[in-house]
Amino acid sequence: MNFASRAAVAAVRAPDGRTRVTRLRSDGPLALRESGGAVYLVGAGAGPLGGDDLELTIDVGPDACLAVRSAAASLVLPGRRPGPSRLAVRARVAAGARLVFEPEPAIAAAGCDHRALAEVTLERGATLTWREEIVLGRHGERPGRYVSRFDVTYDGLPLLHHELRVDENATSAAVLGAAKAAGTVLLAGEDLTREPYAAEGLGVLPLAGPAVLVTALAEDTVRLRDRLTRGTAEARLAAGIEDPPQSPPTTRAAVSRDAGAVAGTAPDGGAGRR
Amino acid sequence: MDAALLLLADSRLPAGGHAHSGGLEPAVTAGVVRDLPTLADFLRGRLATAGLVAAGLAAAACAGGRPGLDAEADARTPSPAQRHASLAQGRALLRAARAAWPHPALEELGPSHHPVVLGTVVRVAGGTPAQAAAIAAYGAVTGPASAAVRLLGLDPLGVQRVLADLAGRIDATAAEAAESVRAGVLPAASAPALDLFAELHRQADLRLFES
């Protein structure tokens, strides 16, 4: 079974200064849960599978602070029916607001044909931490086709346009070489280093706009995460920031969910997926 | 093809291209490019990523009517060392082009990335966006290939064979870029390894090429 799913999360700053999640809409395999000050993608069922068309919209209102994470790595698989799978994440971060988007890695399984799209609109004065990690196949496996496009604007100007194509050219020493995992962390809007830094498999790259792209290649996902964490610290420490900004806890009260679209109770929810 | 465009694609154009290896020198230093097969592999990846992006920007600049292309080039070039190299090559090309093809469009053009200058010059010289894309894609592999001859002492005939084998891919890359620009989308294919090589090279004590 294939899904066209539209999930959404929205957060605003409440009068008491805390962030309140005002919208949490799960749909099909995109199930969202609020827990411990973050919204988690819990993934009802396997996937994405070939033919899936998934969209997640994130809206962070002025001065609000939202973290979106995932409970586990996602395994991107071919479907029973031909055709690519697609996951689009569109986020708007308003002035003074902060979004942390840190899902677990996506594993591109053999035979997959996947397009990941992320479109992020940052208003002037917004801050962002956006992590993406791709694992090229399960153990001992060559990945299918996986294209990840990342488009970010800041204050209406292009900040980053970045498309990683895991295809027949990706094993070139100019692209990914022998790496089995590739990842980036985009830090934007904070006080960040303007000095580039490079080490084996790790680059800390100040962009032309107010942002730093931490980029890493590694032989496995553990080393990839280590490098990205080290690069992120490097980008902040070099700018004199001792403690990275943390998201304040969101209040669990007053969360309104769209009728009929609550995770697990949607008619086409996770149950029918296996 | 118009002779003016052949002049633009020629490595003898005095636009400083010989000072840049397109990431090949650090790849040689890292030991991942050693011989003709590893060179062919490197060029194939470079063409599909940096080559495609440059071809798209050149086609868009040639088509005209799209302001802000340098900001688009910046957003597609996360490595500061690569942005620096692209602006330096843009400056050198603009200087040569102003002398060769005097035109108000070249006088108006400020400091710009190399593909943006290239596309503008192709327009001034009477070429089309598809031709601008072809010259950019071609240059994306011929520059590093020449650098490989100098750095590794490879047989120039063997390197020429590598380039000849890539010709079909160069055409396909240029066509993909031109088609994408016609559809209103600028390619953004990234090459994480080239980004890392560019920064490692900037730190290196001993280097023959600027990038």
Q: Can you tell me the ipTM of this complex?
A: 0.96
Closest residue, chain A, to B196 (C-alpha): A203
B12 burial level (CB within 10 Å; 0-12, 13-18, 19+) = exposed
Beta-carbon separation of A205 and B195 below 8 A: yes
* CB of A254 less than 8 A from some CB of B: no
How far apart (Å, rounded) are the C-alpha atoms in residues A50 and A210? 37
Average pLDDT over residues A220-244: 86
How far apart (Å, rounded) are the C-alpha atoms in residues A106 and B125? 47
**CA distance readout (Å), A256 to A18, A25, A34, A262, B134:** 16, 9, 12, 10, 54
Measured between CA atoms, how close is A202 to chain B, in angstroms? 7
Q: What is the pLDDT of residue A263?
A: 34
Q: Report whether pLDDT(A240) > 80.
A: no
CB B208 within 8 A of CB B151: yes
Q: Could you read off the pLDDT of A5-63 as tens digits, one per residue?
A: 999 999 999 999 999 999 999 998 899 999 888 999 987 666 688 888 999 999 999 99
Q: What is the pLDDT of residue A44?
A: 60
User: What average pLDDT does chain A have?
Assistant: 87
Q: What is the pLDDT of residue A29?
A: 86
Partner-chain residue, chosen from A157, A207, A217, that has the shortest CB–CB distance to B192: A217
**CA distance readout (Å), B41 to A173, A272, B37, B150:** 7, 45, 6, 18
Identity of the amino acid at A236: R
Interface of A with B in 172-191 (CB under 8 A): 172-177, 179, 182, 184
Interface residues on B facing A, Cβ-Cβ cutoff 8 A: 23, 27, 32-33, 38, 41-46, 48-50, 68, 71-72, 74-81, 83, 186-196, 199-200, 202-203
Q: Coil, helix or strand for B27? A: helix
Q: Could you read off the pLDDT of A127-152 as tens digits, one per residue?
A: 999 999 999 999 999 999 999 999 99
How far apart (Å, rounded) are the C-alpha atoms in residues A152 and A162? 9
Partner-chain residue, chosen from B41, B75, B76, that has the shortest CB–CB distance to A173: B41
A55 burial level (CB within 10 Å; 0-12, 13-18, 19+) = middle
* CB of A245 less than 8 A from some CB of B: no
Residue with tokens 């479109």: A119
Q: Report whether pLDDT(A187) > 70.
A: yes
A174 burial level (CB within 10 Å; 0-12, 13-18, 19+) = buried
* CB of A201 less than 8 A from some CB of B: yes
Handedness of CA B108, B113, B116, B119 (dihedral sign): positive
* CB of A169 less than 8 A from some CB of B: yes
**CA distance readout (Å), A202 to A88, A129, B53, B196:** 27, 17, 23, 7
Domains of chain B: 3-8+22-201 (1.10.4190.10)
- Residue A94 pairs in a beta bridge with none
Beta-carbon separation of A175 and B68 below 8 A: no
Q: What is the pLDDT of residue A125?
A: 96
How far apart (Å, rounded) are the C-alpha atoms in residues B52 and A5? 33
Partner-chain residue, chosen from A169, A196, A206, that has the shortest CB–CB distance to B48: A169
Residues of B in contact with A170 (CB under 8 A): 45
Residue among A14, A13, A45 nearest A29 (CA): A45
Residue by residue, pLDDT tens for chain B (211 residues) are 589 999 999 988 989 888 999 999 999 999 999 999 999 999 999 999 999 999 999 999 999 988 899 999 999 999 999 999 999 999 999 999 999 999 999 999 999 999 999 999 999 999 999 999 999 999 999 999 999 999 999 999 999 999 999 999 999 999 999 999 999 999 999 999 999 999 999 998 889 999 9
Q: Report whether pLDDT(A270) > 50.
A: no
Measured between CA atoms, how close is B149 to chain A, in angstroms? 18
